Amino acid sequence: MNNETPTPRTDNHARAYQTAGMPAAYTVILSLSRQLERELNEARSWVRAAMESAAIASATIARLESERDQLRKVADEQNDVIARDAYYMALADKQINKAEHAYNSLPHVVAKGKTK
């Protein structure tokens, strides 16, 4: 068996059925068979490469989806913090307004006309 050739299957069959004085048609068929085997091997390598690329793409998609989920979790947590802080700021603003109104209502402030 000669594994160095690009068409080992065809060569093995040719050796198995080789007889002296083969007709010319057999040589043409043998040549065509070798060409088809080379094309088959090339197609297999393309399919193998495509499958490897698909596996890499699938792993990349899974990694990106995981990162997206982590970012969504962080964004949701930050949104909760911002919403809570905004609530407390609104409460503080109301208390400041109440305090200013109470200060401006004091008799000595009203008398002097000094309002904040």
- pLDDT, tens digit (0-9, with 9 covering 90-100), for 24-49: 677 778 888 889 989 999 999 999 99
Q: What domain range is 100 assigned to?
A: 8-112
Predicted local confidence at residue 31, as pLDDT: 84
User: Of how many residues is the chain composed?
Assistant: 116
Looking at the chain, which runs of residues are DSSP E strands? Answer: none
Long-range contacts of 6-13 (CB under 8 A, 24+ apart): 6/37, 6/38, 6/41, 7/33, 7/34, 7/37, 7/38, 9/37, 10/34, 10/37
pTM value?
0.47
Quickly count: other Cβ atoms within 10 Å of residue 8's Cβ: 14
Asked, for residue 51, whether it belongs to a domain, the answer is: yes
Asked, for residue 60, whether it belongs to a domain, the answer is: yes
Residue 109 in contact with residue 115, Cβ under 8 Å?
yes
* Number of domain units in the chain: 1
Asked, for residue 1, whether it belongs to a domain, the answer is: no
- Cα 99 from Cα 10, distance rounded (Å): 97
E strand or H helix that includes residue 3: none
- Cα 75 from Cα 58, distance rounded (Å): 25
Kindly state the percentage of the chain with pLDDT values over 90.
43
- Cα 4 from Cα 108, distance rounded (Å): 108
Please state the rounded mean pLDDT for residues 64-68: 96
Asked, for residue 22, whether it belongs to a domain, the answer is: yes
